[in-house]
Structure 1
Amino acid sequence: MFWLLLCVVDVLVDSFEVIAPNKHLQAIRGHPAVLVCEFTPDPNLFNLVVTWQRQEDTRVVHSFYYQQDQLDRQSPEYHNRTSLFISKLHEGNASLRLAAVRLKDAGMYMCVVSNTKGTGRALMQVTYGAPYSEPRLSIHVNSSALKVQFETEGFPKPEVIWRGEHDQNISYHQEIHSQTEDGLYFIKSICEAQKPVVNITFTLKNHLLNQNLQRAVFLSYDEETTDHMTIVLAVLSVICIILIIGITWLAVKQQNKQRSSL
């Protein structure tokens, strides 16, 4: 009889489960994310306790017991950003909605559920990504070189490739700055092109989000015209300087004349 009772208890304990169907969630910057957690339901919610925590440091992300949210111990960075699907709790849905994902939200999350049928937990990994913005093109020309530059922001660090007219890899200079608050990488990639014709392609790959940006640049650089423009601008600059000196001299002369008349 005692053995039979133990078997019944074991069956009841084993019948309770807490699972995370997706062990990994890819979250996108600024978008909401739903961390799915399911458990063996019990129609009576009075004894239901749901707690979401960060596994690394046990910070409380969200708590629910006594049939309502209990957020007194919620970590400050999650204030007004989390919610459960209350109407689905009786179905065994303890999923958490996290609003406006940011870099600090990345990490391991633990869903802990307890009711009259038992207690269990499930783990989930959340990773963070931000699509790279439309690359901003700028072109810098001087007497010795023509430089093509693209700037963009995203996360994580991308793969950047520059290719020439015949699809060959060409060298480039790149600066990467990590921004603190948004957690974005600012990318400035510069390729020095050969004159007088420029036919190159810039490619950026964000492997985490399967993002592939490709921008072609074709320029026809007329060096003679540029040289002529440089000469014209230089002449105009000299004329402007002479005019300024002349106006200043006339003003001083007029002022001295007025003083002498007094």
Structure 2
Amino acid sequence: MNWAESGCVKQKHRLIVRSSAGPLVAPLGSSVVLLCYVDELLLMEGLEVEWRRTDSQTLVHLYQDGESRPEAQQQDYHDRAHFFTDQIQHGNFSLCLDNLRAEDEGRYTCRVYSQQDSGETVVQIKDVERLLVSGSDRSVSAYDGEDVTLNCSVDSHIKPEHIEEVLWRKTDGNILVLLYQNNEAHSSNERYIDRVELFTAEIPKGNFSLRLKSVRTEDKGVYMCLVFAGGLSANATVVLEVGFSTLDIIMLIFCITASGSALLLFCLIYCTSHNNDVEVGLHLFLVFCPNILMFLAFVLWGVSEGSLFESVSCCALYFLRPLMVLWAAPYVHEFTGNNKTWILKYSFRAEYIVFSAVFYSVLFKYAWDKSISYTGFESIVIPVLFVIVLLLNLLYIIYFVG
């Protein structure tokens, strides 16, 4: 007897599972619904629905034993793929995929198992919008001391909350200029702190252009805007050219004049070597003129470049150098009275004490700025070591110089 013909054995038949007619197109970072449904009501007992990538058979999401099983899905889809749970009893097994990524492109299979019945359908996601970042086709020029804007735009419909990070880097030296993360922008590099910012009101429009304030000569170079979103990254570059300002030109004139005056005075001293009074006068000009000019040049350099440590130390050095030169000069005995006594006894001491005070004050500020950026052991060690060095220097001044 044919049991199948008698109807005593229920034959397994194929469910008709439906989906959308064509491929889905959606922008990067958005949410998309992959349709999967049946026209008949199914028993919930023993119902199982699984979504897999057709190419790799990666499990995207699973419904089993009356509930979703997120622990079974691939890690890449955690918190991104979910069912409309309240619709499953009505035969709707559609999958919602959030925060769409470029690698989500492909074909997805929806398989439905119910009692002795089963069926499947395929949904395709294609043409996920790519992450495009644009900068500036031409180099950006600015004069020393000016403010400048370096362009960077995300040319897509990605929402700001889907952008994970935006990095601005200076490529020569791989220097981090600014980091945008968690809706906040900040710089940890001392060269750029308080000098760089984004245009906050423009960020929702995809504008991540960088404003660089008080441009310096050392800022010249290539800057990269690197954007991370939806598992992708893209970048654009901007070339910054820095021209000479009025301060730079005056500073250059001082430096050239200092060198030229030194050469000229050397020649005059050589030509007037037979005249002792004139020679001493020219020597004094040689001692003071180039050093004072270089002192003024470093003052301007400190103003234009904002390099406090270097400019203060160099200014003090050039300002006090004439004292040391006079102390070592062979014609020091040509001076008389208090001038001679002061030069021989106090010029060396005065230069050492003043220059040490200037140098160590600058060093102290640098050490202090570094120590507050550390936590724990380093924040204590740096100030302690600095105080020890300072005390040793004071003892040297008291017992050997004083």
1:248 aligns with 2:317: yes
Aligned 1:99-248 pairs, distance under 5 A: 99-116=98-115, 118-127=117-126, 128-130=128-130, 132=132, 135-137=134-136, 139-141=139-141, 151-153=152-154, 182-188=231-237, 232=246, 234-239=248-253, 241=255, 242=294, 243=296, 244=298, 248=317
CA distance in 2, matches of 1:240, 1:248: 16
| Runs of at least 5 residues in structure 2 that lack an aligned partner in the other structure | 143-149, 157-223, 256-293, 299-313, 328-346, 351-400
Aligned in 2, Cα 1:246/1:73: closer, same or farther, shift over 3 Å?
A: closer
Higher relative contact order (CA 8 A, sep 6+): 1
CA distance in 2, matches of 1:17, 1:153: 43
What secondary structure does 1:13 align onto?
coil
CA contact (8 A) 2:16 2:119 kept: yes
Q: Which amino acid aligns with 1:237?
A: M
Decide which structure has greater helix share: 2
Q: Which amino acid aligns with 2:235?
A: F
Aligned in 2, Cα 1:189/1:129: closer, same or farther, shift over 3 Å?
A: farther
Deviation for aligned residue 1:79: 1.5
CA distance in 2, matches of 1:178, 1:5: 68
CA contact (8 A) 1:108 1:124 kept: yes
Deviation for aligned residue 1:136: 4.8
1:20 aligns with 2:49: no
Aligned in 2, Cα 1:32/1:180: closer, same or farther, shift over 3 Å?
A: closer
CA distance in 2, matches of 1:88, 1:126: 22
CA distance in 1, matches of 2:65, 2:245: 82
Tell me the equivalent position of 2:62.
63
What secondary structure does 1:83 align onto?
strand
How many residues get paired? 194
Residues 89-132 of structure 1: CA distance to partner in whole angstroms, max 9, x if unpaired? 12221101112122232222111112247211111121321464
CA contact (8 A) 2:106 2:124 kept: yes
CA contact (8 A) 1:81 1:99 kept: yes
Residues 129-179 of structure 1: CA distance to partner in whole angstroms, max 9, x if unpaired? 14646x55575349xxxxxx9644457xxxxxxxxxxxxxxxxxxx9x997
CA distance in 1, matches of 2:71, 2:246: 72
Q: Which amino acid aligns with 1:183?
A: L
Aligned in 2, Cα 1:43/1:19: closer, same or farther, shift over 3 Å?
A: closer
CA contact (8 A) 2:100 2:230 kept: no
CA distance in 2, matches of 1:94, 1:66: 14
C-alpha RMSD of the superposition: 4.1
Tell me the equivalent position of 1:86.
85
CA distance in 2, matches of 1:108, 1:98: 13
Aligned in 2, Cα 1:178/1:247: closer, same or farther, shift over 3 Å?
A: closer
Tell me the equivalent position of 2:348.
258
CA contact (8 A) 1:18 1:38 kept: yes
| Runs of at least 5 residues in structure 1 that lack an aligned partner in the other structure | 143-148, 156-174, 191-228
Aligned in 2, Cα 1:236/1:73: closer, same or farther, shift over 3 Å?
A: same
CA contact (8 A) 2:42 2:91 kept: no
Aligned 1:40-51 pairs, distance under 5 A: 40-51=39-50
What secondary structure does 2:26 align onto?
strand
CA distance in 1, matches of 2:31, 2:75: 18
CA distance in 2, matches of 1:37, 1:136: 42
| Higher radius of gyration, 1 or 2 | 2
Residues 213-236 of structure 1: CA distance to partner in whole angstroms, max 9, x if unpaired? xxxxxxxxxxxxxxxx85845522
TM (normalized to structure 2)? 0.40
CA distance in 1, matches of 2:228, 2:85: 37
